[in-house]
Amino acid sequence: MTTDVIRMPYDRGLNWPTATTFALFHLGAVAALFTFSWTSFAAAVFLYWMATGLGISMGYHRLHTHRSYRVPVFLERFFAVCGALTLEGGPISWVAIHRIHHQKSDQPGDPHTPRDGAWWAHMGWILFGETNHNNTRGLAKYAPDLAKHRFYVWLNNYHWAPTVVLGLLLLAFGGLSLMLWAVCLRVVFGLHATWLINSATHMWGARRFATRDDSRNNWWVALITFGEGWHNNHHAHPTSARHGLAWYEFDPSWIQIRLLSLLGIAKSVRVARVTDPTAGRQAA
């Protein structure tokens, strides 16, 4: 593992540009609460589905990282742009870091394991310079399938651009309330929801499968992340497009992938075959 890509906890001090950006967005999220309107709330919910649901869950994670299914190129790239709207970095960075997480899950070299502390796993790993998201060349070795396309290289280098453009458009045509809700509050909620997968789902929940890491199934994280909280299932079957393997494990992203498959848009869909989804279940 090269030190210019992944760093150990707190070894290089606070990442001031990242910390400043997050602080401003959190202030904007608080300000949004004083400018409520149903239009702004609806826009925030829609864009949350678009950015975190389509962009992170269906895009960056299940499609770009694990290649759990295939879609036409234009849709794959659309999902990537949606993912960039979360401010979680570009597709090459996100995919590379998540693949490293699977290789080193809860072991030395894992970028965000709670074994280094719950706060570290949740957001400390970003605030203290654990990863240089703009190091496209360094991270490309872990995502060569994306790095060979100029579109993904550009989006990784300028992953902030879609959010800036969206924010300006919302401010110009909808006013301050719309921008605060649909950008600041939506981004902040999405960041913490995604970070809970790194922290909470490696600490709290049930373990159906005896994986080599601490991954757990957490229903309330799944509820706010479009099914990503069924994390133990995912670590046991990382290439499965379906994370909720039992009927009671609500997985909206899988429902949408299944719909795309029925429409003939999604192909080569990989699904874990579990005869008894409750077999071998371990208590929290």
In this structure, how many other beta carbons lie within 10 angstroms of the beta carbon of residue 27? 13
pLDDT, average across residues 98-115: 96
Q: What is the pLDDT of residue 137?
A: 83
Q: For residues 39 and 69, is the Cβ–Cβ distance under 8 A?
A: no
Q: What is the pLDDT of residue 133?
A: 65
Q: What is the pLDDT of residue 2?
A: 39
Q: What is the pLDDT of residue 70?
A: 98
pLDDT in tens, 19-38: 999 999 999 999 999 999 99
In this structure, how many other beta carbons lie within 10 angstroms of the beta carbon of residue 165? 11
Mean pLDDT of the chain: 92
Q: For residues 202 and 214, is the Cβ–Cβ distance under 8 A?
A: yes
pLDDT in tens, 199-236: 999 999 999 999 999 999 999 999 999 999 999 999 99
Q: What is the pLDDT of residue 136?
A: 80
Does 5 have pLDDT greater than 70? no
Does 255 have pLDDT greater than 70? yes
Q: Which phi and psi (to 5°) does residue 67 adopt? A: 50, 50
Q: What is the pLDDT of residue 242?
A: 98
Which 3-state string (H, E, C) describes the chain? CCCCCECCCCCCCCCHHHHHHHHHHHHHHHHHCCCCCHHHHHHHHHHHHHHHHHHHHHHHHHHHHCCCCECCHHHHHHHHHHHHCCCCCCHHHHHHHHHHHHHCCCCCCCCCCHHHCHHHHHHHHHHCCCECCCCHHHHHHHCHHHHCCHHHHHHHHCCCHHHHHHHHHHHHHHCHHHHHHHHHHHHHHHHHHHHHHHCHHHCCCEECCCCCCCCCECHHHHHHCCCCCEHHHHHHCCCCCCCCCCCCCCCHHHHHHHHHHHCCCCECCCCCCCCCCCCCCECC
Q: What is the pLDDT of residue 273?
A: 86
pLDDT, average across residues 123-144: 83
Q: What is the pLDDT of residue 10?
A: 56
Model confidence at 6, pLDDT cuts 50, 70, 90, reads very low
Q: Two tokens at 102?
A: 């699977």
pLDDT in tens, 171-184: 999 999 999 999 99
Q: What is the pLDDT of residue 276?
A: 56
Q: For residues 79 and 58, is the Cβ–Cβ distance under 8 A?
A: yes
pLDDT in tens, 36-86: 999 999 999 999 999 999 999 999 999 999 999 999 999 999 999 999 999
Sign of CA dihedral 128, 130, 134, 135: positive
Q: What is the pLDDT of residue 62?
A: 98
Does 241 have pLDDT greater than 60? yes
Q: What is the pLDDT of residue 274?
A: 77
- Percent of the chain topping pLDDT 90: 86
